[in-house]
Chain A
């Protein structure tokens, strides 16, 4: 039983890492530029497809493919900000208008992926095969790498936000765009940089997940889960996003293992995943009821309409 528990914890951490990466990027975008960027998970899908395309048909090595999978969505995200959101961001009712523009972008990219890549999901051989023994518990090397790479990226993100000039500007704009502008911060530049960094994180997450899960055009549907994770952690709070992502990963991994037994008692059907998700959403609702700003965040003010 003990071994199973530790296996479940490791599985949950590995699964949670994807949500952590995606939630950190989404958190950046919404926390700093106040764009509810629903098309965000499409960049995750794009990163996964780029990695698959470079590694399977073109036989590139993994590090180069991962770099390409990170950079291409980042560049695309920057272009999209310059072409679309730059013009909406400073208008009236920018919150609602941005959501609709992002919805349009999501439809365009999701259907574009169906059009270009086809509907079938594509798997690939895992990059780091094999298992490793850690004090008597067998864990696949892939998951260790996944957790390690994610930690490296998160530390890089932390340094970017805390130590660099653009990071300071980002934090200033997230606190108050008007006051930051009075201090000479170019908020448009900051929003642009935010979008680039956020989309790079999404592409990276797609890149490291492609060998683990199958790549399919419906990967973008994960966006609704990401929004929930960001809210649970608290908008604008990086530690909150990490904590909430890990909670989601652990809940899903434990739920899939124990859920089907519990479900049999209460007339639920299917695998335990459904029950685990219901449980997760209910917990989110209860937590947000008592802490409206999320676990580690501040309550947000009313949205200006």
Chain B
């Protein structure tokens, strides 16, 4: 038993090391992309891939706890509108509006989630769908938000002045790309930290079997609400970036259809891969339509066909290919895993007590 535990521990450490190395390599590769790609349109596509993959990551985060949210784009929109209004009405700097709008989005998520998360399951899907609708209608109907034509003339981020060196102005796509990369890195690191800590283990236990997790003392409501708030905060952060990147927003962008696309990004990449899956999925969903643009109007037809074929033959996503070579886990192994995750996610006093026995 002791031997097994050591092996498990060793595996965890080596996996963490490999993950860290691969993350650094990936970031370096992504950082040199602007030196190679000069076409502004391609840079724009890459920036959109970054935004979409963060949204898809939030989807997987909530899915881990058994919540399928159709309001991801709504919280993205709350962040976007909050940032636009803060920087235009209160003439706040972008660097203050960015965290502020993420926090505002998180606060909204806390209150809305407090009401909705209790139910879980199917009711949650539909209530978030209702919220997805209401947000678009509220943005479109009230004068404060500029109606259905949206808000235009949102200022770009203030230039960063580095002392004794050149200052960075947000004019071309390249600074935006690096800003996107920075935000993506923050979100990835934060999410990985949450997954690695006791919260992540509790989430995985809930995702595998809510009833079992609840019967063993995991508070479903609290962990689900936490996941909802974290996910919405990340979405709000990206919303603020999106606003200042586009410098114009319309309510229709933040409707439930956007959320449905976000689901597609995540599922195509593979929902078993919370960080890499969304990036791969949104990259594929952005690049493939560009390749298929040979026939302009027929492009969504091919994309739709591609989605159907991929989901029929690769139901675990593209990255799921790698794990499908391995042996499928036996159900009892899953149960043992749940037990382990729960044990490690409980407060220290309880688990110590169990260990002493």
Which A97-138 residues have C-beta < 8 A from chain B?
97, 99-101, 103-112, 114-115
Q: Is A182 an interface residue (CB 8 A)?
A: no
Chain A binder among B76-84, B256-264, B337-345: B256-264
B129 touches A88 (CB 8 A): no
B141 touches A270 (CB 8 A): yes
Distance in angstroms between the alpha carbons of A38 and B267 in the assembled complex? 16
A224 touches B133 (CB 8 A): yes
Instruction: Please indicate the chain A residues that have their CB under 8 angstroms from the CB of B144 in the complex.
Output: 267
Q: A111-B297, A285-B131, A305-B207 are in contact. Are A268 and B142 (CB under 8 A)?
A: yes
Which A60-116 residues have C-beta < 8 A from chain B?
84, 87-88, 91-93, 96-97, 99-101, 103-112, 114-115
A228 CB contact (under 8 Å) in B68, B133, B297, B312: B133
Which B275-316 residues have C-beta < 8 A from chain A?
297-301, 303-308, 311-312, 315
Q: Is A146 an interface residue (CB 8 A)?
A: no
Which B116-131 residues have C-beta < 8 A from chain A?
116, 119-123, 125-127, 129-131
Distance in angstroms between the alpha carbons of A111 and B296 in the assembled complex? 11
Shortest Cβ distance from residue A234 to the other chain B in the assembled complex, whole angstroms: 11
A101 touches B142 (CB 8 A): no
Q: A111-B297, A114-B297 are in contact. Are A104 and B143 (CB under 8 A)?
A: no
Q: A274-B140, A278-B138, A285-B131 are in contact. Are A101 and B207 (CB under 8 A)?
A: no
Which B184-233 residues have C-beta < 8 A from chain A?
207, 210-211
Q: Is A281 an interface residue (CB 8 A)?
A: yes
Chain B binder among A20-28, A170-178, A183-191, A296-304: A296-304
Q: Is B148 an interface residue (CB 8 A)?
A: yes
Closest residue of A by beta carbon distance from B298: A115
Instruction: Please indicate the chain B residues that have their CB under 8 angstroms from the CB of A105 in the complex.
Output: 304, 308
Instruction: Please indicate the chain B residues that have their CB under 8 angstroms from the CB of A305 in the complex.
Output: 63, 66, 207
A91 touches B315 (CB 8 A): yes
Instruction: Please indicate the chain A residues that have their CB under 8 angstroms from the CB of B126 in the complex.
Output: 227-228, 231, 284, 288
A111 CB contact (under 8 Å) in B63, B268, B298, B306: B298
Q: Is A239 an interface residue (CB 8 A)?
A: no
Instruction: Please indicate the chain A residues that have their CB under 8 angstroms from the CB of B301 in the complex.
Output: 107-108, 111-112, 115
Distance in angstroms between the alpha carbons of A278 and B132 in the assembled complex? 11
Closest residue of A by beta carbon distance from B295: A115
A88 touches B312 (CB 8 A): yes
Distance in angstroms between the alpha carbons of A301 and B123 in the assembled complex? 10
Q: Is A269 an interface residue (CB 8 A)?
A: yes
DSSP class of B's interface residues: helix, strand, loop or mixed? helix
Shortest Cβ distance from residue B245 to the other chain A in the assembled complex, whole angstroms: 26
Q: Is B137 an interface residue (CB 8 A)?
A: yes
Instruction: Please indicate the chain A residues that have their CB under 8 angstroms from the CB of B138 in the complex.
Output: 278
A302 touches B264 (CB 8 A): no
Distance in angstroms between the alpha carbons of A53 and B267 in the assembled complex? 38
Distance in angstroms between the alpha carbons of A299 and B256 in the assembled complex? 23
Residue interface mask B67-94, A partner, CB < 8 A = 1: 0100000000000000000000000000
Distance in angstroms between the alpha carbons of A281 and B127 in the assembled complex? 9
B304 touches A107 (CB 8 A): yes
Q: Is A275 an interface residue (CB 8 A)?
A: yes
B315 touches A93 (CB 8 A): yes
A103 touches B130 (CB 8 A): no
Distance in angstroms between the alpha carbons of A165 and B300 in the assembled complex? 41
Instruction: Please indicate the chain A residues that have their CB under 8 angstroms from the CB of B271 in the complex.
Output: 93, 96
B134 touches A281 (CB 8 A): yes
Shortest Cβ distance from residue A93 to the other chain B in the assembled complex, whole angstroms: 7
The 4 tightest CB contacts between A and B, nearest first, are A104-B307, A108-B304, A107-B304, A111-B300
Given A111-B298, A299-B119, A302-B211, 6 new contacts (CB under 8 A): A105-B304, A115-B297, A231-B129, A267-B142, A269-B141, A302-B210
Question: Could you write out 22 A-B pairs with CB less than 8 Å apart?
Answer: A84-B308, A97-B315, A99-B263, A103-B263, A103-B264, A105-B308, A107-B303, A107-B307, A108-B308, A231-B122, A267-B142, A267-B144, A270-B148, A274-B140, A277-B133, A278-B137, A284-B126, A285-B134, A288-B119, A292-B119, A299-B123, A300-B121
Chain B residues within CB distance 8 Å of chain A: 63, 66, 68, 115-116, 119-123, 125-127, 129-134, 137-138, 140-144, 147-148, 207, 210-211, 256-257, 260-261, 263-264, 267-268, 271, 297-301, 303-308, 311-312, 315
Chain A residues within CB distance 8 Å of chain B: 38, 84, 87-88, 91-93, 96-97, 99-101, 103-112, 114-115, 224, 227-228, 231, 235, 263, 266-270, 274-275, 277-278, 281-282, 284-285, 288-289, 292-293, 299-303, 305
